[in-house]
Structure 1
């Protein structure tokens, strides 16, 4: 009942409540993004949604105009603290996760959930193997099980298996734990960027569920 009905209701209500606070962020961050390099405030990224439907995921733009698309060996998006493609304000909104806040609009539209698997690029669907397409059974989330406990410290394929674990154990209580774990990680700015050191150290990290 929660998975198929109440989860969407909670998402919609909480997103509406948060929307006025997000407008404050928009009015402060938006002009800074624009005046640093006279580019668009938003980055509208195509992503895979529920049942494989492609949608536009909204983010504050953190990179310079016409920045090249860099990928890791596993096909996931390159993400590093010293990434020269980031603007000055871009580095700040990445570290504080403010770049993800426009996804409130995706939640209201029904493209996303507050808690769920982080959405992949459309072309990643061709790289799914075995049971990995199960990731598309539910709406993607602004944050999720993998994002809360491992963030960017595990390979892409391992993230997908974490997403499937979440789908198989989805409950109201699990969503609550993920929400507060995410809040703590964001406040501590933990595991935002990929490094060899924290990737190796997190392979044996206990999730504590």
Structure 2
């Protein structure tokens, strides 16, 4: 990983600690975005220092060198060899300082980026328009109704029916294996909460012993789930066949019947349990503005390995920025995520 980072753009982050660390955390967790953070310039009094002295800011598992405050940016660029700078606190610098910074960077062949202070808003919803000489960022409202919902429903029904026809032989084999492996029904039906907090019965191939729900309190101490989620990596309730089909997400194939019936979508937020929804705050509850999905941004970004906060952020980002192209991209990425078995247990 360190060798790969040598080929990324070297980014110096300029801003107050809260906004700077938020950007640093995302970039360092996702080197595929093309940046490696080589330093930060911040006026935070608890981390004051001079360029090159060696003070640092800790972000997750990374120690990011601190190169002074806003007045030290030009010197910091030369010292750390930055090829780009990202300003996360433009309001703290002021418009004159921003202008002077762009002049300072002009002769250094360094790209200047400015974070607008909003997160998880897709490009098509944003437009920069100058007003009285000030570049203002205009953000369109999220759209959940009308033609968007009709196109999504059409994609769901067509995609689910096509998948059922292609995967029918596989589903028959799995059904036989589940039946022969352990006593109990082939399918497992569980109550989940869907669009506008309406409950529905979600179908899955049974991957646990028949009394798994009643055994849950006995293994509560093994819970590794984040936030309100309940997850156990080596769950003793899982059967032999269950371990295999869960590893490749084959247990979720019967959810295609839910999609055909209209209670779920091919792509959407993770379908939550009723007791999870009861603990949602107002922000998290926005996940329920669209139908839950068989797959989603959470599925292609780490699944059970994600923190609760990151799972919520991804679900809300999907809800706010839905588009047909995004759904198709997530479906394509799901194939690779399942093949790699990332975060599945």
Same fold (TM over 0.5): yes
In 2, Cα distance between equivalents of 1:190 and 1:40:
28
Partner of 2:203: 58
- Measured against aligned partners, the alpha-carbon deviations of 1:141-172 in whole angstroms (never above 9, x if no partner) come to 00001111131112234312210111111111
Equivalent in the alignment of 1:78 = 231
What is the rounded CA distance, in whole Å, between the counterparts of 2:196 and 2:328 in structure 1?
25
Structure 1 gaps of 5+ residues are: 194-209
Q: 2:158 aligns with which of 13, 16, 26?
A: 13
- 1:94 aligns with one of 246, 270, 279: 246
Contact 1:149 1:181 in 2 (8 A): no
Judge conservation of contact 1:64–1:85 (CA < 8 Å) in 2. yes
- Verify: 1:30 aligned to 2:142, yes or no: no
Q: Secondary structure at the match of 2:305?
A: coil
Per-residue deviation at 1:58?
Answer: 0.5
Cα pair 2:226 2:308 within 8 Å, conserved: no
2:311 corresponds to which residue?
A: 159
SS where residue 191 of structure 1 aligns? coil
Matches of 1:160 and 1:83, distance apart in 2:
24
> In 1, Cα distance between the equivalents of 2:199 and 2:258?
12
User: Relative to 1, partners in 2 of residues 1:73 and 1:108: Cα closer, same or farther, differing over 3 Å?
Assistant: closer
Matches of 1:127 and 1:88, distance apart in 2? 33
Structure number with greater Rg is: 2
Q: Deviations over 1:10-52 (max 9, x none)?
A: 1101111121233212221112111222211111011010000
Which aligned segments of 4 or more residues in structure 1 are displaced greater than 4 angstroms?
Answer: none
The alignment status of 1:147 with 2:306, answered yes or no, reads no
Q: Deviations over 1:90-119 (max 9, x none)?
A: 000001110000000000000011010011
Contact 1:125/1:133, CA 8 A, preserved across alignment: yes
Q: For the Cα contact (< 8 Å) 2:259–2:265, is it kept in 1? A: yes
Structure with greater proportional strand content: 2
Give aligned pairs, total: 192
What does 1:107-126 align with in structure 2 at a 5 Å threshold?
107-126=259-278
Q: Which protein has greater RCO, CA pairs closer than 8 Å, 6+ apart?
A: 1
- Report the Cα distance in structure 2 between the residues aligned to 1:22 and 1:113, rounded to whole angstroms: 18
What's the counterpart of residue 323 of structure 2? 171
RMSD: 1.6
Q: Distance in 2 between matches of 1:73 and 1:163?
A: 15
How far apart are residue 75 of structure 1 and its match?
Answer: 2.9
CA distance in 1, matches of 2:296, 2:265: 9
Partner Cα separation in structure 1 for residue 326 and residue 159 of structure 2:
17
Query: What's the TM-score once normalised by structure 2's chain length?
Result: 0.53
Q: Distance in 2 between matches of 1:190 and 1:28?
A: 24
- What whole-Å deviation, never above 9, does each CA across 1:147-200 have from its counterpart, x for those lacking one? 11131112234312210111111111211221111111111111214xxxxxxx
